[in-house]
Amino acid sequence: MRYHKAMPDSSLFPNQPSRRALLGALGAFVAAFACATSLARAVTYEVTHTDAEWHKILSPEQYIILRESGTERAFSSPLDEEKRAGTYECAGCRLALYDSSTKYDSGTGWPSFFRPLPNAVLTSVDTSFGEVRNEVHCRRCGSHLGHVFDDGPKPTGLRYCMNGLALIFILRS
């Protein structure tokens, strides 16, 4: 006859947290990030449209990126290779976001900038895909533009990694 050892009584280990306590702490952590993201999205924007209006204004691909926080495939945007002088605007509301003098080749496959124009973008915490990132939104219409990372060049050390479909390039004359 075989005997199995009984699991240790939790009273023998009073300083070890229980599974219920660990799950509760994890739930609180997830809820805190969800609230932070929801609060960022609760901002009232100058430019607003109904969902039906956004569908009319944007292409289906732009709608997924700007309104549903989608991401285009790397190296798919012609704006990644754009080298001319100009301004990059939000495809949702045409707010000027970035000057071409702040654009650089990050090698990631998305148009990248080290600094937005003043009062052009907002950021919020993005916890999708099991990681914490800083999502970048248009300040005027709230459209999702991309993410900002701390691995960019001087002088800011930031990399604003933008979806090309979220931007419109205006050539400087």
Digit-coded pLDDT (tens) for 128-158 = 888 899 999 999 999 999 999 999 999 999 9
CATH number at residue 63: 2.170.150.20
In a domain, 156, yes or no: yes
Q: How many distinct structural domains can be found in the chain?
A: 1
CA dihedral sign of residues 112, 106, 73, 144: negative
Active-site option among 90, 93, 141, 161: 161
In a domain, 26, yes or no: no
**Contact present, 112 and 161 (Cβ < 8 Å):** yes
Q: Look at residue 129 in the predicted model and tell me its pLDDT.
A: 81
In a domain, 130, yes or no: yes
In a domain, 25, yes or no: no
In a domain, 24, yes or no: no
Q: Look at residue 20 in the predicted model and tell me its pLDDT.
A: 63
Q: Which domain holds residue 45?
A: 38-171
Digit-coded pLDDT (tens) for 94-119 = 999 999 999 999 999 999 999 999 99
Helices (H) then strands (E): counts for the chain? 3, 9
In a domain, 117, yes or no: yes
Per 3-state DSSP, the chain is made up of helix, strand and coil in percentages (nearest 5) of 30, 25, 45
Clarify whether 93 is annotated catalytic.
no
In a domain, 153, yes or no: yes
